[in-house]
Amino acid sequence: MSRPVLTRPMIDLRRSGPFRYARMTAMLRFLIKAAFVAALAGVVLPRPLGTVASGVAVGIVVAAPLLRVAWLAIRWYLRGDRRYAAVAASLLVVVGSGSVIALVTR
């Protein structure tokens, strides 16, 4: 008997997590530093600029996990794992629709 032909590309799991996710880890470290600097600026700066800096800090803290999910969704889609990519995309759709509903019903 012949062996079945694989229809999806194989994922190389031999590389450990720190090497596979080095760019994502670097991005998250940058976002942590940016959120810290924005929060510190929000505390130190006077009223109009401080309020904007605080809003930027909150925006970064909220957006960072969503960017990570989007990054993983794209990565999984490109590697051929459509189920995980669909779940990640569905999560982003739920969060986005919840945000739109919150803005509309405000």
> Which tens digit of pLDDT belongs to each residue from 16-32?
566 677 888 899 999 99
Cα 65 off chain centre by: 4
pLDDT the model gives residue 39 = 97
Those residues of the chain that have pLDDT short of 70 are 1-19
Helix, coil or strand: residue 69: helix
Do the beta carbons of residue 88 and residue 65 sit within 8 Å? no
Between vectors from CA 37 to CA 21 and to CA 94, what angle results, nearest 5°? 55
pLDDT the model gives residue 21 = 78
pLDDT the model gives residue 23 = 87
Do the beta carbons of residue 71 and residue 89 sit within 8 Å? no
Structure tokens at 101: 């509903």
pLDDT the model gives residue 14 = 63
Instruction: Tell me how crowded residue 100 is: count the other CB atoms within 10 A of its CB.
Output: 10
pLDDT the model gives residue 22 = 85
pLDDT the model gives residue 69 = 96
